[in-house]
Amino acid sequence: MRLLQFSTSHYCRKARLVLGYKQIKYQVENLTPGLHLLKVKPLTGLTTLPVLLAPQPDEPKAIADSTRIWQYIEQHYPQPPL
């Protein structure tokens, strides 16, 4: 898994906290504000971070929004429960 983020964003921190609590191994990619649009918009159609690139059989699934990331993690990694 890879988390696209701004290092100082509290929404990105929320996603990191969930991944850490669940002890899920992931990589962080810190993006530069403004330039992040070139990477994020083609993946999600949105311009906001965080975005979680979750492994899928064919290609990574891009999940935008810290709450949607939390829901995805809880659904696919139920233990320990949040």
19/15 Cα distance (integer angstroms): 6
pLDDT tens per residue, range 39-76: 999 999 999 999 999 988 877 799 999 999 999 999 99
For 40-46, the CB contacts below 8 A with 24+ separation are: 40/4, 40/64
Closest alpha carbon to 46 in 11, 1, 81, 82 = 11
Q: How many domains does the chain have?
A: 1
User: Does residue 81 lie within any of the structural domains?
Assistant: no
Give me the pLDDT at residue 39, please.
Answer: 97
Q: Is residue 25 part of a domain?
A: yes
Q: What is the extent of the structural domain holding 46?
A: 2-76
Closest CA to 66 of 6, 33, 32: 6
CATH of the domain at 71: 3.40.30.10
Is the residue at 52 inside a domain?
yes
> Is 30 domain-assigned?
yes
Q: How confident is the model at residue 32 (pLDDT cuts 50, 70, 90)?
A: very high
